[in-house]
Chain A
Amino acid sequence: MDALISQLQRQFRDHTISLYQQGFLDDQFTELKKLQDDGSPDFVAEVLSLFFEDCVKLISNMARALDQTTGAVDFSTVGASVHQLKGSSSSVGAKRVKALCVSFKDFCEAQNFEGCVRCLQQVDIEYKTLKSKLQDLFNLEKQIIQAGGIVPQVDIN
């Protein structure tokens, strides 16, 4: 069992580090982890699921606003959704998503339809990628705990 736990912990550590190194996560995620304690053991998971819900909602808003079939594209509406996504992604530490939002916003302000559409697609891909990676991480955590181990504190430096 100990070997399993160690292995899981190692996997967990490696996975975490890679997420940071690949730019999926940033310091804000670390801060979130600090807020997690015995009083709120699933805090990070809860917040991230909220975030992904927001992603779904906002991306569909953007898609609707960018739908040319309904008429002229309202870039301000798109921009508002992008802005909100930027805020929430920065709050959870979704670094890549946030970076995309920045350029997405520029396209909105420039009223660059193609740029916006491109960004929208990228945002969609990006949040889904992050979601699956974090899911793996949470699963590892669960396995470690189920195996009786302790989830290691990963020092990202």
Chain B
Amino acid sequence: MSVRKFCTLCMQNASQSALKSAKKFYSSSTKLTNTEVRKKRNALFEEEKQRQRAAYVKRVEKILVNYKGQPKDVKLLMNKGISTPYNCAMHINEFLMKRSIVALVNGELWDIHRPLEEPCDIEFRHMLDQDPKLPNQVFWRTGAFILGHVMETAFKDNVYVELCSFPPIPVEKGCFVYDVDLKLPDWKPSQRELTSLSMVGGELWDKNWDFERLEVDASLALKMFEDNRFKREQIPDIAQKHKQKRVVLYRMGEHIDITSGPLIANTSQLYRFQVAQIHHIKSRRFGPLQRVQGIAMPSALHMHWWSWDLLCKRASKPMDYLLPDYFISPSKEPTQQKEDNVRAAVEN
């Protein structure tokens, strides 16, 4: 059965419940569908990317990059603002290109496809490292990012999906999470529907999409996300935290989202993807939301279907860690907070 048919089944259920509740499923402000919003965002992203590139093309400066690691330490002369750690790997060895999840540039976590700014020491990290703690975190963050892609693309145009946020849930909890507003309060997804959603993520391995990073001004970010009422609220806060008051965007294929941390290099490094469950949650700040829980496995690691099933069952249990309300600053609204979530927010 093709993915389209599965999605259609998914949509039949969703559209039926939608018709029952008789709500509008377009963006409240501009009355666009998800596909149109995506096209608009991509056009703005592409424009900004070309504009930023043009600033460097006029004069190319060289920087000395020191690579330390397997197969041997090398010194490379790369282009400032254009060359990425991936380009460095291209000069060294093929396995570095394929297996590297994230790079360490002067000790700082750096995306594989993010241009290098200054002379630096570079190291690569992969899923089978001696200490894979950092790649694991990066992978888990990417999983949540991809959940956003799945939710925005899987549904038919009569359902308008608004992505809210994804909290930094640790790997040990067993799932990553995206809080979404589907506007389907009565929907309980069946196993078939969850499978069809998972297939959207499962297809990514074949597509070999890179994860591109772009820093934009807060005003442009607001323009791009004007159709999403949650992101509109969040962008000023996010820009405040950044040094140059900019917002960091990531693009995978046609999906664009806001996140601070590095993501993996390429979707070919992700193999198994499962949307485990969708729970309904209530938030004081954002209203009723749906918490989409998922789990993923990289292509570097193998797992038997039985253990995978076990992990999926664990991931489908309701995850109450870092609910949307716990990120409200104390001055705005006092909320009832669990002790461990307070600690988590403070640590973050």
Do chains A and B interact in one complex?
no
Q: Which residues of A contact B (CB under 8 A)?
A: none
